[in-house]
Amino acid sequence: MASHHKFPALHNAMWPGLVGKGGPGAEPPIDLDTMLNLTAAAQVNGTRFDGVDLFLFDPHVSIDSSDDDLKRLADRIDSKGLVVGSLVAPVWPPTGGGSAMGSNGDRGAFLTQVRKACAIGKKLRDLGLRRYGVVRIDSAAGPADWATDPAGNTRKIAETFRQAADIAKDYGERLAAEGEICWGGMHSVSRNVELLEMVDRPGTVGFQADMAHTLLFTMGYNAPDDRILPDDFDWSNRGALDEGLKTMTRALRPWTIDFHVAQNDGTVKGSGSHDKTGRHCLPNDPNGKLDIVRHAGFWLRDDHGRVERKLDHICWDGCMFPNAVMTEQQTWNDVLRVMKAVRDEHGWD
């Protein structure tokens, strides 16, 4: 029977209020205060969220925030009994960054955003609001562009990530590269491992695992040669699904330094300016393919079933839900309930 544990801390992502929102045909963004209030109000049998992870982009948190801006932000979050964990650096061209495999100018823009994000991370640590967490990055390039020169483009991404690692180290930060089917050179299990080995900065650059996005790796979406589950996979074959997920987590877990609890129905979705990626589902979605609590253990326990205790916090990520769903308090109570169940099953004291 699961026990009630104190660690890891339970966080909620704020960027679902922004990702896939705004622009033609999309719903408007949900402001940060609304997301914070919904997170702070969530409660399950006395358990509450410990903190939030942030996207450093307007209208939530400007990447060009001044010290005074960040002090006001810290006060707002602290007043709700929350702390800050991981930060998403806006490394993509539409958000002021550039492709990690692009021109010198593109890569320079990418690195500028990493530097600004790391500086914000340090400032929030200095303000006492952030004791753990990483800065999240990706290649900021699509698989189709990457495929024009796979070897050469992977080398460019690795070199950019090494330069980013030097920046992060100067600020006392770590970088987590989130693999998704929509990021070139990071769109399959083998490509992520290849890239991280090429970067070769295990103390500074690791992997961010999202349960919804990584499920698509097993299906070979955008990388059919790397698929783990067969083309005609029967989702009722839970034993085969477990083995496929174990094959994936054995390869990526050693690199994992940041973890998103999530659900996926085996399909993809894009909204607004966001490319198609693994569809996030609500935790109680009847079409969800994952046993969230059980399968989270494939990431949080080693091959012998022992809890690894290497993550200070875990975060729920659920993007591109309708605003009506996202602004309903019960949504976040349900999310917190499954997060608590993951910690009760795989946590520690």
> Which tens digits make up the pLDDT trace of 47-99?
999 999 999 999 999 999 999 999 999 999 999 999 999 999 999 999 999 99
Q: What's residue 3's pLDDT?
A: 66
The answer to whether residues 157 and 101 touch, using CB atoms and an 8 Å cutoff, is: yes
H-type helices in 171-235, by residue range? 189-199, 211-218
- Mind listing the pLDDT tens digit for each residue in 252-288? 999 999 999 999 998 875 443 334 566 789 999 999 9
**Distances from the Cα of 105 to the Cαs of 96, 110, 246, in angstroms?**
12, 9, 40
> Rounded CA gap, 238 and 4, in Å?
27
How far apart are alpha carbons 328 and 50 in whole angstroms? 20
User: Which tokens in the block code for residue 95?
Assistant: 């958000």
Check residue 279 and give its pLDDT. 79
Beta pairing, strands 268-271 & 274-278: antiparallel
CB of 12 closer than 8 Å to CB of 32: no
Residue ranges per domain, the chain?
9-346
Give percent of the chain above pLDDT 70. 96
Instruction: Please tell me the predicted confidence (pLDDT) of residue 94.
Output: 93
pLDDT at 132 over 50: yes
**HSE on the CB side for 134, CA within 13 Å?**
27
Query: Looking at per-residue confidence, does 168 or 23 come out higher?
Result: 168
Q: What is the pLDDT of residue 274?
A: 39
**Does pLDDT of 199 surpass 90?**
yes
Q: Which residues pair with 342 in a beta bridge?
A: none
Domain 9-346 has CATH 3.40.30.10: no
Q: Residue 261, CB half-sphere, CA atoms under 13 Å: how many? A: 32
- pLDDT of 272 reads 38
Bridge partners (DSSP) listed for residue 73: none
Residue in 3, 1, 54 with CA at minimum distance from that of residue 32: 54
Residue 143 has pLDDT above 70, yes or no: yes
The answer on pLDDT for 304 being more than 90 is yes
b/e string for 27-65 if b means 16 or more Cβ within 10 A? bebbebeebbebbbebebeebbbbbbbbbbbeebbbbeb
Q: What is the mean pLDDT of residues 300-327?
A: 95
Give residue 172's Cα distance to chain centre.
20
Calculate the dihedral angle through the C-alpha atoms of 316, 318, 322, 327, rounding to the nearest 10 degrees.
10
The predicted structure's pLDDT at residue 277: 66
Count CB neighbours of 79 within 10 A. Answer: 10
Bond from prior residue into 224 cis (ω within 30 degrees of 0): no
pLDDT at 25: 87
Instruction: Give the model's pLDDT for residue 269.
Output: 52
Pairwise CA distance, residues 194 & 105, whole Å: 25
In SS3 terms, 317-347 reads as CCCCCCHHHHCCHHHHHHHHHHHHHHHHHHC
pLDDT above 70 (res 319): yes
**Residue 110: strand, helix, or coil:** helix
Q: What is the pLDDT of residue 20?
A: 87
